[in-house]
Amino acid sequence: VQLQASGGGLVQAGGSLRLSCAASGRTLSSYAMAWFRQAPGKEREFVSIIDWSGDNTNYANSVKGRFTISRDNAKNTVYLQMNSLKPEDTAVYYCAAGRQLSTTSGAYDSWGQGTLVTVSS
């Protein structure tokens, strides 16, 4: 499955953005989906995951209560709604698809190209 992430940009602290991850080539309905992020000079880290049905989600502690992951299988798209953004949320955000729901990046074999989120203070 090919993934295309979009929706990043520059936003002030406290603002909101919604990231989208559109799939092509295969339907997303049978995949677990995840968002990871990588800040400059840091390793890629888990942000959020959602199972194929959308009924099960999980979040990194650093974004819990501020970010919401969702999916629309009919549109073959996964979303990440990011509210109350902080400068430390600045990173390239990647979406990923895999057969197994996991917080570990190695469990995902399809990745989008990344979209840059910059939060100014």
pLDDT digits (tens, 9 = 90+) for 69-95: 999 999 999 999 999 999 999 999 999
Instruction: Please check the confidence at residue 39 and state whether its pLDDT lies above 90.
Output: yes
Residue with tokens 């979040």: 59
Q: In angstroms, rounded to a whole number, what is the distance separating the alpha carbons of residues 75 and 77?
A: 5
Q: What is the pLDDT of residue 95?
A: 98
Grouping H, G, I as helix, E, B as strand and the rest as coil, residue 81 is strand
Condensed to tens digits (0 to 9), the pLDDT of residues 12-33 reads 999 999 999 999 888 888 899 9
Residue 47 pLDDT > 90: yes
Q: Which two tokens stand for residue 23?
A: 């799939």
Instruction: Say what the pLDDT of residue 108 is.
Output: 96
